[in-house]
Amino acid sequence: MVVVLKDANESVFKAKPFGFLSKQHIRKATEFNLVIQRGKRLSLSCLAFYFLKNDRDYPRLGMIVNKRNCPLAVNRNRIKRVIREHFRFIQKDIIGFDLVVMLKSPAQKISDQELQSCLEKLFLQLNTLCNGLS
């Protein structure tokens, strides 16, 4: 089912509350560097979150899952898929922030359960910090 917005100023979240649009991706290296250098950092054993307030009315996500930490493309894509899925459900709470998620430890040492719990803890911390900064 496709929902058509009547007004161009309506929020993206009214049409698709859990969607992940292409404009929500951070793709340029300069934008990644800006968030990493000027943003705040949250970190656990396997992941690091960098976040920075932006001037948009929607959050953006960038992911760094490098080949050194995760040599198989299948595993890199799985990790990115899990990160995107978690981001989709919390995006309504972190409007106006750029978020870069970086894999810190080799993926062979990370179980699915550990990745899920790490993401949940970091997104919970991020949610409380973003609500405090807004």
Question: What percent of the chain is predicted at pLDDT more than 70?
Answer: 85
Task: Please determine, for residue 89, whether its predicted confidence score (pLDDT) is greater than 90.
Answer: no
The predicted structure's pLDDT at residue 53: 93
Reported pTM: 0.81
CATH ID of 21-133, from 2.60.120.10, 3.30.230.10, 2.60.34.10, 3.40.50.920: 3.30.230.10
Which tens digits make up the pLDDT trace of 21-60? 788 889 999 999 999 999 999 998 889 999 999 999 999 9
- Lowest average pLDDT, out of 3-7, 49-53, 72-76, goes to 3-7
DSSP result, the chain: -----SSTTS-HHHH-TT---GGGB---HHHHHHHHHHSEEEE-SSEEEEEEE-SSSS-EEEEE--TTT--SHHHHHHHHHHHHHHHHHHGGGSTTEEEEEEE-S-GGG--HHHHHHHHHHHHHHHHHHHHHH-
**pLDDT confidence bin for 3, thresholds 50/70/90:** very low
Report domain extents, the chain: 21-133
**pLDDT tops 80 at residue 12:** no
